[in-house]
Structure 1
Amino acid sequence: MWYLIVGALLLSMGLMASLLERLPISPAMFYLPVGYILGPAVSGLINVAPAQHAELLTALAKMALLLSLFTVGLKLRMPFRDRIWRLPLRLGVLAMLVTIPLVALTGTFVFGLPLGAAILLGGILAPTDPVLASDVQIKNVNDRDLIRTSLTGEGGINDGTAFPFVMLGLALLGVPAAATYSDAYALLHVAWGVIAGLVGGWLLGWLVGRLVVGLRRTFQLALGMEEFLGIGLIALSYGLTELIHGIGFLAVFAAGLAMRRIESTNSGQQDLNPDDNKSVINTMSASDNKEVATHPTKASAYMTETVLSFNQQMEQFAEFVMVTLVGILLSHIGFSVAGALLALLLFFVIRPLSVAIALTGADVTPLQRRLMAWFGIKGIGSLYYLVFALQYQWLAPAGFHSSALAPRVSSMVLTVVTMSIVMHGISATPLMEMYQRRRLR
């Protein structure tokens, strides 16, 4: 039955891909109802309980999230001295620091959650996920549109920076593994995690990228297997950084940035024109081309583009699996009215307010500010942090039932993610087309 279901779904997507591109919907909007139908609420063909299968779900969601973060890093080609970096940093850090307390306050005073669960809810729902709406992410590495660049960069940053808040929420719920995030040295622990993640991931990405390019240029070695190179670097940067208690998600994002930085340093502004039949950037196929792979100036571009091409294909598969899984989990745990209310508050009040505060004084137009506020998409990052938290036993304070707390939070999170997929998926294409028309005028 599993083989029949997976085979039918994958073949259907392969056959319908061209049709979906013509419709004003994202592929995720197709995966979501399919997952719900497969779940116990409709057909009962697949029944996955979030709490009982938390470890397996965490492993799957982590792999999808790591792949997404590395791909985002590879897409961001701007040098760090470029002022455009200020926008994703503002959104990924400042907007998140406003979002989490506002969600926590809402959870406490509107929905009656204990403080630990409310902070955990804020940490789970803080990350944004531009992967689930391809119309709002960077189309190619030369894209310098403020909205696309800001939202793509924000998704790469806040998936990692939300981790300490998730751990703080778990610590307040009595989880021993998270206790260090609520003691007197918590800020030092967080600072070390961020620094070790960014610096460690960058160094590993830079060293591996330089090693491969050097071997290809000088000795014509390390040719091919870019797929292994990308996945290997993801695993290496995450594993080593976690080993020294850094935040592995930031490390993987930084490793992608480092690999792209090697390419941009070596290539400069050459090979950027996609209309040039000699161009490497944006037109590189994943085929084996020894002449280009060992070229003095094009070797790094070939390496980066082939890794990016493979990762983007894997990212589409990961999106399919994760969104279908969201539908299955929602079918199991049920739609939450409280989650729907929270989604509306998050999309129309909390997110716009946090973006307005984060972008105070920024050189963006009112339309750009409004679109950045609207596209605070929830997806794989929120799903990962939910199932990650469900691995532990939560201890609710007096007056709250511990056994009912996790299912309630799970239902709220899955409802918010579902509404985000639908509402942002429907609005992404028409809003971005409208924005593009105004830009051209």
Structure 2
Amino acid sequence: MLLSMGLMASLLDRLPVSPAMFYLPVGYILGPAVSGLINVAPAQHAELLTTLAKLALLLSLFTVGLKLRLPFRDRIWRLPLRLGVLAMLVTIPLLTLAGLFIFDLPLGAAILLGGILAPTDPVLASDVQIKHVSDRDRIRYSLTGEGGLNDGTAFPFVMLGLALLGVPAAAAYTNDYAMLHIAWGVLAGLVGGWFLGWLLGRLVVGLRRQFRLALGMEEFLGIGLIALAYGATELVHGIGFLAVFAAGVAMRRIESTNSGQQGVDPNQPPTVSHMPQAADKEEVATHPAKASAYMTETVLGFNMQLEQFAEFLMVTLTGILLSHIGFSAAGALLALLLFFVIRPLSVALALVGADVTPLQRRLMAWFGIKGIGSLYYLVFALQYHWTAPDGYRSAALAPHISSMVLTVVAMSIVMHGISSTPLMDMYQRRRR
């Protein structure tokens, strides 16, 4: 499969399909529903699956942060904030109501379902994300920033749902200090991640400019910053996903501040010379105007490559899990309700008064892609034992929710994968 994707990459760019549309059926075929070569039960392997999904999600959140180069004073930042916060705060209650009155779920399970399915995916949405760091397109910038924000801001709702299902580890989200706990988690995540990203970026650039030290191994810097931002924030009970996203944004802000509004090309040497390639790289890495850009772009390029492997692994795994637990008619109905009613309504309310065209508004509403974020929160929740209220079978609740979530994710991969290329091509033609 890896060899096939390497050979077909240029062909896929011209077709209305995404790589995930190939990974998903391969995973399903590998699973017990077809070949039985791999049998991974979501509940029994929840801890391992949570670790794998967390690694993929952290990598993608940091990469998203590195792509967002425009200064915060730019009005375009209001759009991802509207989608990542306001639209999510509408989506979760609507999904909760659907869970209560259409799918007959208990309140805790309905809130949990809303928290799992509210985040949009920062990996599978690559076709509709910004293509280069100076991209000012409202749709691409909004959807990119939304994918970085709402994976972290959905966490309190997932924990609230688990608390109502009797999970002791989530009890802090239903006590008298719940709102303070949530506010601290968001604040600690954003501020802590930003500070660590800013500190590391300034330290490395300063060492390179002044002493020609800390050269090379930029890839280690990126992965190390992800681990540090997440771990340190979680230690103080902050939301680690927000911290990793903020760290990526902070590292990019240092670059944009040093390079100026137009930026620089870090791959071009500062002077014309015939130095060996290694010497060229060192000269650029220590150049006053290009040191930060070289570091940031190198980290971004490496992370984007890792992100492609993460997409391959997690979507294939989604197919395997779906093969084990089966499709859900309720999940298919929920997917249609989410894609055609709940998402458009939440985006319409979030963008009231926003400076966007009707076409941009409709495309933002359509591209609420579900993927790794939803998969992570599902397997995270499956680590715990749920206690359903009287009248509900606790043993059947987790498989039912799992089947619904995996069906929604699978339908999103197919429906959004088919539509992303032609819709974005149409949008670009209309812009021109």
Q: TM-score, normalised by structure 2?
A: 0.97
User: What secondary structure does 1:133 align onto?
Assistant: helix
Residue of 360, 363, 388 corresponding to 2:380: 388
Please list the CA deviations of residues 254-304 of structure 1 after superposition, one character each: whole Å capped at 9, or x if unmatched. 000000000000000344479x96699xxxxx9881000000110000000
Please list the CA deviations of residues 151-192 of structure 1 after superposition, one character each: whole Å capped at 9, or x if unmatched. 000000000000000000000000000000011110000000
Residue of 205, 226, 239 corresponding to 2:231: 239
Is this contact kept in 1: 2:64–2:122, CA < 8 A? Answer: no
In structure 2, C-alpha distance between the alignment counterparts of 1:248 and 1:75, rounded to whole Å: 19
Is this contact kept in 2: 1:273–1:279, CA < 8 A? Answer: no
In structure 2, C-alpha distance between the alignment counterparts of 1:50 and 1:270, rounded to whole Å: 47
Is the aligned partner of 1:217 residue 2:245?
no
Is the aligned partner of 1:10 residue 2:2?
yes
Aligned residue pairs total 426
Alignment of 1:11-410 (within 5 A): 11-272=3-264, 289-410=281-402
Is this contact kept in 2: 1:271–1:278, CA < 8 A? Answer: no
Shift in Å, 1:21: 1.9
Please list the CA deviations of residues 27-54 of structure 1 after superposition, one character each: whole Å capped at 9, or x if unmatched. 0001000000000000000000000000
Is this contact kept in 1: 2:208–2:291, CA < 8 A? Answer: yes
Quote the sequence identity (%): 85
Shift in Å, 1:326: 0.4
In structure 1, C-alpha distance between the alignment counterparts of 2:263 and 2:356, rounded to whole Å: 30
Is this contact kept in 1: 2:256–2:263, CA < 8 A? Answer: no
Which ranges of 4 or more aligned residues in structure 1 deviate by more than 3 Å?
A: 270-274, 276-280
User: What secondary structure does 1:44 align onto?
Assistant: coil
Is this contact kept in 2: 1:69–1:253, CA < 8 A? Answer: yes
In structure 2, C-alpha distance between the alignment counterparts of 1:13 and 1:424, rounded to whole Å: 19
Is this contact kept in 2: 1:127–1:381, CA < 8 A? Answer: yes
Is this contact kept in 2: 1:26–1:133, CA < 8 A? Answer: no
In structure 2, C-alpha distance between the alignment counterparts of 1:204 and 1:273, rounded to whole Å: 25
Please list the CA deviations of residues 63-117 of structure 1 after superposition, one character each: whole Å capped at 9, or x if unmatched. 0000000000000001111110100000000000000000000001000000000
Is this contact kept in 1: 2:61–2:122, CA < 8 A? Answer: no
Shift in Å, 1:135: 1.8
Shift in Å, 1:23: 1.5
For the aligned residue pairs, the C-alpha RMSD in angstroms reads 1.5
Unaligned 5+ residue runs, structure 1? 1-8, 281-285
In structure 2, C-alpha distance between the alignment counterparts of 1:83 and 1:172, rounded to whole Å: 39
In structure 2, C-alpha distance between the alignment counterparts of 1:64 and 1:30, rounded to whole Å: 19
User: What secondary structure does 1:289 align onto?
Assistant: helix
Is this contact kept in 2: 1:72–1:156, CA < 8 A? Answer: yes
Q: For residues 270 and 358 of structure 1, do their structure 2 counterparts lie closer, same or farther at Cα, with a shift above 3 Å needed?
A: closer
Q: What amino acid is the match of 1:135?
A: D
In structure 2, C-alpha distance between the alignment counterparts of 1:382 and 1:61, rounded to whole Å: 10
In structure 2, C-alpha distance between the alignment counterparts of 1:20 and 1:209, rounded to whole Å: 36
